[in-house]
Structure 1
C-alpha cells in the first residue's frame, strides 16, 4: 500500500499518513458467511473461526439475516465458549431454537461451561455428585433440548 503525507506535513502537528489506494472491502452474503462458519467449525479451527467472525463488518448489509442462520449462531457460541465468555454463550444458546443435529454439541458446551464456572467457584474439580447438582441447577434451555 502506498501512503501519502497529509497537507500539514510542515505544520507543528503530527504527520498523518493518508491511503492513496483504497483498501478492498470484502462483501459476503449471509449464506456465504454461514457456509464459512460451518466449514471452519467442522475443521475444528476455533481460532480461525473466531478471527473470521471478528473480521465481519459491524455494518454488514445483511446483519439481521446473519443471526437467523443456525451455523453462524452456533459458531458464535463455540467461540464464546473457547474465550470463556460463558454469559454471552448462554444468551446465544437461549436466543433461538436449534435443530436436533446441533443439540448434542450445544448441550455439551452448556454443561461444560457450567462445570467450569462451578469448579472456579469451589476452587476444586467437580466429582460426579457435584456435576449432577450442576445439571439439576442449570437444565438445558428449550432451544437445545428436545425432551430426550
Structure 2
C-alpha cells in the first residue's frame, strides 16, 4: 500500500472514498473528489474510480462520456448490473428527448435492441424478461414440483438466482396466471370440439342428413314409387266419382254400375215407347 505522490491517499483509500460517496448519494461531492485526483494512469484505471466516473457522467447528463467509459474498460461481473442500468437509462433518456414523450415497454424494447449492452459490462448470456436464462431455469425447475413456494423458499430462490424476493414472487404469480389461462383455453376448445362431434353424429350418413330417428309414419309406411302413387290417386278419384258426383236421383249412392245401366234402359223404354206407338198409328 503506497501513498500517491503529492496526494496523501493510497489507491485503496481512493477506491473506498468513491464507494462511500456513491452509496451515500453525494454525487456532486464525488465529482469534486474525482476532479481533485492527481494525473496518475494507475489510479485512473482503478475499477472503483472508473465506476465512480460513470455514475457522475450519468448524473450530469454527459452520456457520451458515460458510453466511452463503459465501452473502453473491462469491468468485473459484480459491477455489471449497476453499469448496465446506467447504459440503458441513458439511452432511454436520449430516446425520450428525441420523441418528446415517455417510452413505453415496446419503446424500451426497441432501444435495447438498437443499443445492445457492450461486452465490457455483459457476460454475453441472453436475458429474457430481464432475467438471465440461468435464473429462469432455476425458477422453472422449482415451479414444476411446487408452484406455491413459501416465503422462506422464495428467499432461498432469490439468493440462488441473484434476484430480489419480490421478483421471485412476481415470477411465480405471473406463471400461475399464464398456466390458468392456457388451461381455460384448452377446456373451451375441447368443449367446442365435442359439441361439433355430437351435432354430426345426430345426422345419418346414409340418408344425406335425415334424422336417424324417424317418425311413426316413416317407420311403418313403406316407401311408394311414383307409379304406385298415381294408380292409388286414380283409383281414389274413380271411387269418389262413383260414390258422390255421378249419383242419379232415385238411386242410392252405393248402387253398383250394372244397376245404373238397367235404370238407364228403363228410362229409354219409358220415353221411346209412347213415341214409337204414335208413329205406328200415324203410318197406319
TM-score by length of 1: 0.76
Partner of 1:31: 12
- Alignment partner, residue 78 of structure 1: 55
1:68 aligns with 2:42: no
Measured in 1, the distance between the counterparts of 2:71 and 2:44 equals 13
> Are 1:134 and 2:115 counterparts?
no
- Which of residues 52, 70, 73 in structure 1 aligns to 2:33? 52
Query: Aligned pair 1:87/2:64, yes or no?
Result: yes
Distance 2:123 2:19 in 1: 22
Higher relative contact order (CA 8 A, sep 6+): 1
CA–CA distance in structure 1, aligned partners of residues 76 and 7 of structure 2: 30
CA separation in 1, counterparts of 2:71 and 2:124? 16
Partner of 1:97: 74
1:123 Cα deviation from its structure 2 partner: 0.8
Q: Which has the larger radius of gyration?
A: 2
Q: What is the rounded CA distance, in whole Å, between the counterparts of 1:111 and 1:103 in structure 2?
A: 12
* DSSP 3-state at the match of 2:9: coil
CA distance in 1, matches of 2:44, 2:70: 12
Please give the alpha-carbon distance, in whole angstroms, between the structure 2 residues aligned to 1:117 and 1:123: 10
Offset, 1:120: 0.5
Output the aligned Cα RMSD.
Answer: 1.4
Report which stretch shifted further, 120-129 or 77-86.
120-129
Q: Matches of 2:33 and 2:54 in 1, distance apart?
A: 14
Q: Distance in 2 between matches of 1:42 and 1:66?
A: 20
- Say which SS state the counterpart of residue 114 (structure 1) adopts: helix
Match of 2:91 in 1: 114
Query: Which deviates further from its counterpart, 113-122 or 34-43?
Result: 34-43
Which one has a larger percent helix, Structure 1 or Structure 2? 2
Structure 1 position 27, deviation (Å): 3.2
What is the aligned counterpart of 2:101 among 109, 120, 124? 124
Aligned length: 120
Shift of 1:38: 1.4
